Amino acid sequence: MELAKSFEPADIEKRWYAHWESAGYFKAGDAPAAPAYCIMLPPPNVTGTLHMGHAFQHTLMDALTRYHRMSGDNTLWQPGTDHAGIATQIVVERQLDAQGISRHELGREKFLDKVWEWKDQSGSTITHQMRRLGTSPDWSRERFTMDAGLSKAVTEVFVRLYREGLIYRGKRLVNWDPVLGTAVSDLEVVSTEEDGFIWEINYPLEDGSGFMTVATTRPETLLGDTAVAVHPEDERYAHLIGKQVRLPIAERSIPIIADDYVDREFGTGVVKITPAHDFNDWQIGQRHKLVAISVLTLDAKMNDLCPTEYQGLDRYVARQQLLDDLQAKGLLVSAKPHKLMIPRGDRTHAVIEPMLTDQWFMSMEGLAKQGLEAVESGELKFVPENWTTTYRQWLENIQDWCVSRQLWWGHRIPAWYDEDGNFYVAANEADAVKQAGGKPLTQDNDVLDTWFSSALWPFSTLGWPEQTPELERYLPTSVLVTGFDIIFFWVARMV
C-alpha cells in the first residue's frame, strides 16, 4: 500500500465522523446515578453560515462536552437552528422580487410554503459545517424553533403570561421600519451621527402679539404638533405659558406648555411637541394629556390627516415642500447645519420612524428583577465578570418589550378577534371560539419577535411544557458559551 505524500484529512474525517455519529457516541447520557452536564448551542439563524466566531465558541463547547462525556457524566450538547423571522423573510422576499413577485401577490399561505421550501434547501448548511468541524452535539435531538413541539411551548407561554397579566395589547409608540413594515426592538436600531439641519420656525401667537420661534430637526412632523413647550424656569417665555400659538400650515391652535424636559440651551429653548412621532414627546404628551396625532402612513408617507397638498408625499419630499411653504409665508427663520443621531434599522438601513400602533407587549419590570437577583445571588455567573455590568445596566433600565412583529414568517400570535374588535387569547382557535360564545373569529395577523421563542430554547428543546426525563435531568443547564452582543437579545431574556 502506497502512502499519500501529504495528509489529506477530508476523506478520513468524513468517514470517521459518520461512524461516530451512527454509533451514537454523541447521544445524551441517561445513567441513573451520573451527574448531569448540559450546554445549549446558541441556535444560529437558519439563513446563515458559520464564521470564525462560531468556530471558536464551537471548539470551546465541544471540548467541554467531550471532557464531561469521557468523565462519565450524563452529557448533552443540544443543537438546533433559529427560524430568524426578519432575516429569513427578507431573504425569501428578495428571491421573489428578483422574479417580479411580491409576497402580497402570493398571499400568506403560499408565501410561507416558499419560506419552508427555502428552509429545507438551505437550512442544512450550518449543520453540515458543524459536522465538518468535527463537533459532537447530540444530533438525534436537533431542533428548529418552528418545530411543532417548540411552537407548542411558545403558545403555552404566551397564553400563560397573558392570563397572569404580563402580556397585554396596547397602542404605544414603537420603532417602525417603513421598509420592512414592522415594529422592531431598540436592539435592532443602530443610531449613527449624520449631517443634518436644525430649522427655526415662527409659530404665530394666537392673540397676534408676536411669534414663538421653535427649533426642530424634523419639520415634516410639524403637522402632527399638539403643543409647543418651554422650560418652566425660562424667564424668556414665562409670561406665555398657558397661551396658544397658531400651528403653521395646519392652521389650528395648540397650547404653550412648560416641562422640565426642555433644554433651555438647545436652539431657541422652544420645542414642538409631536406625541405620535417622537418618544420623548410621547412622554411629555402623557404628562400633559395631549392628543397624539399621527400624520404618517406605515410606509412613511403623509396621511389623510395632513392638508390635501401633502397627502401621499414621502416624508422627505413633504419636508422640503413644507419648508418651501413656510419660506413663502415668511415663517422660516433659519436653517443651520447640525450633527444629529439618526436611527436606522440594522437590516434595511431605513430611517426608523417612531410610530403609534397597536402592538402586544410584555411587562418586564418584575421579570427583570428576577434576572438581577439571579446574578446578585451568584446563581448566574459571567466569565469574564465585567459583562455582569452590561447585563445589569440593561435590566435596570429595561422598558416593556414589544413582542409583536408585522411579519408572516414566525409564530403567529395566539389571539383571535370577533367582528367588534374584541380579542380572545387561547391555545387554539376552538378554545378561542368557546371564549367568544361561538362567534366567528379571525386570528391576529402578527407574529412574535424571534427572540420570544429563542428565550424558551433551554425549556422547549427539553420537552417543556411536558415534564420529560430530559427536562428534569438537564435543567438548569451548566454552561452557556455565546457572544457578548446577544447578552441583551437572548441571555437576559432566557434568564
Q: Please give the radius of gyration of the chain, using alpha carbons only, rounded to the nearest integer.
A: 28
d(CA 490, CA 495): 9
CA–CA gap between residue 376 and residue 111 (Å, rounded): 46
Collect all residues with Cβ–Cβ distance below 8 Å to 477 and sequence separation of at least 6: 38, 39, 40, 458
Unique residue bearing C-alpha cell 451527574: 35
Continuous segment of H or E residues that includes residue 153? helix 148-163
Backbone CA torsion sign across 215, 221, 227, 231: negative
- pLDDT (tens digit, 0 to 9) for every residue of the chain, 495 residues total? 677 788 888 888 888 999 999 999 999 988 988 999 999 999 888 887 888 888 999 999 999 999 999 999 999 999 999 998 888 898 898 899 899 998 989 999 999 999 999 988 887 888 899 999 999 999 999 999 999 999 999 999 999 999 999 999 999 899 999 999 999 988 789 999 999 999 999 999 999 999 999 999 999 999 999 999 999 999 999 999 999 999 999 999 999 999 999 999 888 899 999 999 999 999 999 999 999 999 999 999 999 999 999 999 999 999 999 999 999 999 999 999 999 999 999 888 999 999 999 999 999 888 888 989 988 898 889 888 888 888 888 888 888 989 999 999 999 999 999 999 999 999 999 999 999 999 999 999 999 999 899 999 999 999 999 999 999 999 999 998 888 777 777 777 777
pTM above 0.75, yes or no: yes
- In this structure, what are the phi and psi dihedrals at residue 38, rounded to the nearest 5 degrees? -140, 135
Beta strand segments in 287-366, E = 332-345, 353-362
Task: Report CA 343 to chain centroid distance, whole Å.
Answer: 14
Question: Rounded to an integer, what distance in angstroms lies between the CA atom of residue 338 and that of residue 198?
Answer: 6
CA distance 24 to 27: 5
Residue 451, C-alpha cell as written in the block:
427572540
Structural domains in the chain, sorted by start: 34-145+452-493 (3.40.50.620), 160-187+353-448 (3.40.50.620), 190-345 (3.90.740.10)
